[in-house]
Amino acid sequence: MDKILDVRNIHKSFDDKAVHRGINFFLEAGETVGLLGPSGSGKSVLLRSLIGLEQIDAGEIHFHSKRIDGLSEVQLYPIRTKISYAFQTGALFDSVSVFENVAYPLFEHTALSETEIEVRVREILRIVNMEDAMDLMPSDLSGGMQKRVGLARSMVLNPEVLLYDEPTAGLDPTNVEMVIEVMDRFKRKGISGIFVTHDIPAAKRICDRILILRDGKIVFSGTVPEFESSADPFIKSFLTNQ
Ligand SMILES: Nc1ncnc2c1ncn2[C@@H]1O[C@H](COP(=O)(O)OP(=O)(O)O)[C@@H](O)[C@H]1O
Ligand SMILES: [Mg+2]
């Protein structure tokens, strides 16, 4: 078993508010894990901690066999090409085209030629069904299309892990479907994922395992069938209320 990410006993507080009180979990190569939990339970802070956008107070984060918590910004630079955070909003640059949005990480992080970059950007845009929109501006796109371009940009550097923070939130059912399809394509390319969501049906479709965060700890970790058949009242309420 190759653990890509191994999170050991992490703690995180903001002032006197404890958000994480000893979080333990791991991510295996190729799997997608759903991270569920009530609003404000610390899911986004956890994803942000994995790539050093938040400093943890205690514990350890290992990427493959390398400890990555506490690294400097410069040391985190290569890590963030391997563990990619798909922002909740898509976070596109408004003043440049779809093509330039997706190409940006390649110009920033690689020595590829312009021709090579164009080939790569076209390939990725094809995966998210946005190749025809390459020359449009973000403002020309629907929310769902922006989300797909954002996902394309998150994976243009061939990351090993994608962190999805509520990628389907606020989308209509058609766009939800397209985003899930994109995530599934990334999964089939062997990219591992952590999928934060309130969308239980989506999580059941795409996740190999489910984690539930509550009161600063992972209170459940299991396969989708284990999740569905849990006798725990909190987990049951999760399944029925969301
Ligand atoms: N930068 C910050 N400063 C202070 N409190 C924060 C900060 N970021 C998050 N929090 C708090 O941490 C808790 C967890 O937030 P978050 O991870 O965003 O929850 P969610 O599970 O909804 O994604 C919330 O109570 C939030 O208010
Ligand atoms: Mg959040």
Assess contact for 155 and 84: CB atoms under 8 A: yes
The number of the ligand 1 atom at minimal distance from the alpha carbon of 166 is: 23
Ligand showing the shortest atom-to-Cα distance for residue 45: 1
**pLDDT at residue 2 is higher than 70:** yes
Probe ligand 1: pick from 15, 19, 211, max atoms within 8 Å of CB? Answer: 19
Which class for 73: exposed (0-12), middle (13-18), buried (19 or more C-beta within 10 A)? exposed
Residue whose entry in the numeric block shows the structure tokens 């994995």:
50
What residue ranges line ligand 1, CB within 6 angstroms?
14, 19, 37, 39-45
Question: Checking DSSP bridges between strand 17-28 and strand 3-14, what pairing results, if any?
Answer: antiparallel
Report how far residue 138's alpha carbon sits from residue 210's, in angstroms, rounded to the nearest whole number: 33
List the structure tokens of 23.
């979080």
Q: Please name the residue whose Cα sits nearest to atom 24 of ligand 1.
A: 40
Of 232, 235, 174, nearest in space to 34 by CA: 235
Ligand showing the shortest atom-to-Cα distance for residue 87: 2
Probe ligand 1: pick from 10, 14, 198, max atoms within 8 Å of CB? Answer: 14
Q: Please name the residue whose Cα sits nearest to atom 26 of ligand 1.
A: 40
Compute the mean pLDDT over every residue in the chain, rounded to the nearest whole number. Answer: 92
Which of 24-33, 59-68, 172-181, 218-227 shows the lowest per-residue confidence on average (mean pLDDT)? Answer: 172-181
DSSP 49-69: HHTTSS--SEEEEEETTEE-T
Residue whose entry in the numeric block shows the structure tokens 């934060």:
196
**pLDDT at residue 6 is higher than 90:** yes
**pLDDT at residue 36 is higher than 90:** yes
The number of the ligand 1 atom at minimal distance from the alpha carbon of 42 is: 17
- Nearby residues of 152 by Cβ (< 8 Å), 6 or more positions away: 102, 124, 125, 127, 128, 130
Q: Please name the residue whose Cα sits nearest to atom 20 of ligand 1.
A: 40
Confidence category of residue 241, pLDDT binned at 50, 70, 90:
low
Residues in the chain: 242
Coil vs helix vs strand at 5: strand
Which class for 173: exposed (0-12), middle (13-18), buried (19 or more C-beta within 10 A)? exposed
Domain ranges of the chain: 3-241
> Which of 82-86, 98-102, 104-108 is the most confident on average?
98-102
Report how far residue 51's alpha carbon sits from residue 68's, in angstroms, rounded to the nearest whole number: 8
Ligand showing the shortest atom-to-Cα distance for residue 13: 1
CATH of 3-241, one of 3.40.50.300, 3.30.420.40, 3.40.309.10, 1.10.287.110: 3.40.50.300
